Structure 1
Amino acid sequence: MQDQIFLIGNLVIMAAYLAIMVAIVVPLVRAGQLISNKLATATALIFFSCAVGHGLHAAITWAYLAAGAHAGHTAHNGAPFWGWASAVWDAVTAGVGVYYWTLRRGYGILLGPGAMYLDPFGKNRLDEADARERAARDIAEAHRATLAAVVEHSVDAIIGLAPDGIITAWNGGAERLFGYPAGAVLGKHAVMLADEDGADHQEDVLTRIRNGERGVAYETRRLRSDGTPVDVSVSVSPILDHRDRVIGISAVARDVTAAKEAAERQRAIQERTQQAQRMESLGKLAGGVAHDFNNILAIIANYTEFAIEETAGTPGVQSDLTQVRTAVERATNLTRQLLTFTRGDAIQPRDVDLNAAIAEVRAMLERTIGAHIDLITAPATTPLAVHADPGQLNQVLLNLAINARDAMADGGTLVLEANTVTLDGEEVQMQPPLPAGTYARLLVSDTGEGMPAEVIAHIFEPFYTTKPVGRGTGLGLATVYGIVTEAGGSINVYSEPGVGTTFRIYLPLAEAGTSAMVPERQAAPPGGGRTVLVVEDEVALARIVTRILTGNGYHVLTAVSGAQALELFGAHEVDVLLTDVIMPEMSGRRLAELLTERRPGLPVLYMSGYSNGLLGTTHVLDGDITFIEKPFTAADLLHKLAAATRHSYSF
């Protein structure tokens, strides 16, 4: 009976050890730490070996019991060694079990589902590793939050796109640049930001990125939510996954409108400086030639007179010498013009009334200009005095008038005007530039052939002419330039082929100190959010006008043609129209007629490089319109626009 109890005890202990081993191994396998958690694995092996030992002990005991029953005695009495061995083995394994359960209870190991056997040192290492991992996750999360804040508050527009061009991300810079809130663009194609030409180019860029290009940078034009164009510099890059496949596209857009305006202004200043330097060099050369040539002409003229006296009885020779004398006189006039251009001729400046000068020139032109030219003069409302040589001032008006006559072979209108104007010193189309102040202004306008930009760039150079051989010397406008600059003034030229030309001559007023002071002027009232539709086919000028009006509180819609203006007018509420007069396809007057038919009483302000006097006499505009001449200052534009708005809403 004792042997049977011993056998059963071994089997029970074996089962208990196997259960403990399974309780350790199963969580290890589930956590994937059967190999890495060496301490827990070793503990499981100990319990496994204990279970195997008790199993072998039970098997041997059972075998002796079976053999003893066959031999007629008990296995226990026949094998006293195994009894002592079993006792020792049971004591050892019992101690191991007590040690295991002590660790479990004392250190809280193997707690909860899936936990595993760990010693305190190993647990501390894992806790430290967990702390480091949590700290790393916190740092990464803070980095992502900082990066997201940088992206959101960037001045540049940062846009995320799917590979097919669908907008997936839209930061605050994009909202400020294009005017769309994120909810209005997410899920839509980026083609909504481009015009027809820009859409084709945009699709080409997306295709290049999808085909493997790592980045594309370019400048283009995009459209804001209100339809106004904006010049942007765009950088497009692919977003790649771990296999270098394109899973998205990032686009960074920056508003370069102001930078382009600054570059254009700088280019104009450089051209103006180069023009002044070129004119100065040409003046020195022409002056030297004129003086030397005058000496030669004096010799020719005197010897010609001597020969005429000596050949009094030879009519044929006399006739030939008379032709020589005539040629000498013409050459003398040319050198006089050269000396005037180079300021080398003697002048006698005094106070001259421009109204009187215009009247005197009109009297001369009426006899010579021809019946096919309609001559109109518009003197200033009050006497307008400048300090200049009277003869030279008349020469300026006559030269410009004769050029205008030659440009109107089939007839036209010539307008001579005088008035005052205030400059802010920032005009870039003046030759040479003038400081801020109030000046007298002469305008000579015609409806002739006009001139392209490449001709205007050279018209004040000596001997430059577009007239046929024998019709002009190329010194007329060079002389005008010399006279005006000698008097401390400047010239502005505005011309369009097939339309006409306007010369503006700016001269200091005769009153002491007047030209150096800008009179105080009341600030223009703010726009108050009113919407202005600006129609100007010259893109650079349209940008400047938009910038002026936006800075004074107006909301601006910009169109470069009458057709585009009609579309914008139909899509937006417009409070006032500011349009150029002369434009391709549709004139400003025709555009205003179409818009006022839709909305009677719409305020309209016209602008043009031609004078109001010329446009009115040619019936391009009516006499009672609100009009501003180019070039204009910001203050002039704002006051004119405010006046046009007040006039319209006063009815």
Structure 2
Amino acid sequence: MQGLKNNKNIFFVSLSFFLWVLLPAIIGVAAEPTSGNVSSGIGINTSPPVTSPGQFFVWIAGVILLILLFLLGIWIWNQKLRALVVRRTQALTEAEDLKQAILDASPVGIGMVGKQNQLGWYNQAMTEMLGYQPDELKGCDVRVLYGDEKNCRQAGRDIKEVLKSGINVPIETMWRKKDGSFFECRFRFAPFDSSEYRGIVTAVDISESKQVEREVVTNERRLKAILESSPNPIVVYNENGSPTYINPAFTSVFGWTFSELQGNVIPYVPKDQMSITVDKIKELQKNGKSLCFETQRFNKAGETLDVLVNAATIQSVDSNVVSSIVINLTDLTDNKRLKNRLLQAEKMELVGTLAGGIAHDFNNILTAINGFSEIGERKARQYQSTLKEHQQVQVAAERARNLVAQLLTFSRKSEPVSKLLDLEHMVEDSLSMIERVIPRMIGVKFEPGEQTGHFINGDVNQLNQIMLNLCLNAADAMPDGGTLTIKIKTVRVADERCSACQSLFSGEYVKLQIQDTGSGIDEASVQDIFAPFYTTKVIGKGTGLGLSTVFGIVNSHGGHIVCQSKLDQGTTFNLFFPVAEAEAILTETEMPVEDVQPVASVAEVADCDRKTILVVDDEVIIREFVEESMVFYGYQTIAAANGEEALQLYQESGSRIDLVLLDISMPGMGGFHCLEGLLEIDPEVKVIMASGYFPDGLKNDPLKKGACGFLNKPFKVEALLEKIRSLLE
């Protein structure tokens, strides 16, 4: 438009110049001045404008110049107009190309719908989505997109609803490609009223997103089915520690429903387990790696359950921040009970094996006791000294006592108690029992390590059990004799593979090696020997629980097993136990030794003001032994055969009774009920309780119930005197 204005200006300037400058000049040249009308006083030229040939030519030249200037202005204006049209046309073409490029680059299919529902213009994304060539769809009816009259009519109804509501919401339907395949499509229709078109369509292929949605829904349903059907309690916590989901198994095991727990902290962590739980949660949030640990939890009824906790984190999509924690709890309560029963059954089977060797030792002991008793009796009849014979009887009785103590320690049913111990000393103590039960033609060699102090944290009873298991297996592999070698040393291992669990382990361990020169195990069987009920023995020999029990105990101690064996070359079991913490070892090795007070001599105890002791035991021989011993050492005694008789005697003579020696296991009311009765009569009564068999875990019970001391039978007179002296003096 600016170019047009410039051309017009040139034309009008030229015209104005001619009319106002040149034309008056021409006229002025051609005209001569005349006198005006006398009557009017005004001079008027009434002659022709050109009165000579020179003036005429001037006039003609001016007209021609005017025409030339006018034509020049028109030509210039036309050239400017042509250039402007070219530029405008080029700009419009470029704008159209840019619009087409933008529309073709769009991932969304865009098309124009004509007045007769025919397809007009559309972009490249539309042709690619439908599988057509660029110009194949032009002029086609929109019904070609559907391929199904039902879908087409439904889409038409949806479009009418959209237009009626005035809200341009997307419409989902099925479109058909050129090859006849259908795909899920989401499109919008916008009215566009022009002479050629009635609307604009934008469309996207949503087949993949719909498939992803279906897979997500399927996975959610699958995950829900897994969680709902899991026998293990599962709970999901939010960042505040409140549950956002619990599965039915959680309610079944622990008793709480989700409505009871929603928005609250689950009150099922015992106080003594709170510290380890908090530490594990912090470790989980810091490292982000799943972890597993054993602990305890309360149920709604207040019962304590042993559980295995497997925990993992769920991180938010936008960042690595932990948004939730998933806890899978395995109830180990029944499994632990069954495991303890299985271990006890294994013990009982080994006790049966021990019976032969122990019976042999007991018969030897009884032979010595009987023999020396007969000799002593004959010498006594002849008034000869029987001191040597009595000493030999005491030695034999002490051997029997130790043998019974070992048997009770091994066979006792008790909860595992882990404590710091020197594995070398434990093995030395076990060897005395092992040598009794394996055949005499098998030599036993013990080779302790060069360094002293092989400390681990372990349960003595369980370690004795695995020693006996492995040694008996070794003996079975050497029916014709051989050598059983036991070695101990502290070692550092790197990437050693456990034969039982196949995992790699590294670190500092105490290695217990048990090696035999027996028949060995073939390579294929070595892979299976730790499986429950697997055995290479003939039917009727062994339950197949031995090595699986050994692995279970070693694993519970944090250890590993490496088995090396070849047929006819023997078998070596290497048991690796983690070395105990240095601080605990230092405390153990530097523990001050208590001063041992010497037992009072006869002369010292005889001066005891004739204190009176009430001896309560249902065994006559025990009562007589204690009475004679106490009288010999200067005490007076009163005897009772049961609890009822003891209460009656104390009721009658309590004022002169200084101490009561009370057996626990007696017919009638028993020792504990008798103790209660004595305390009712005299709250200050001094009572020492005794028993031939009392579990280690319950030995503090007599003290809790009011007794002043406890003695294990058989006890020595010196031990009894020391207890009495400590209470009465």
Query: Normalising TM by the smaller chain, what interval?
Result: 0.3 to 0.5
The one of the two structures with greater contact order (alpha-carbon pairs below 8 A, sep at least 6) is 1
Rg comparison, structure with higher value: 2
* TM-score for the superposition, normalised by structure 2: 0.34
* TM-score for the superposition, normalised by structure 1: 0.38
Larger proportion of helix: 1
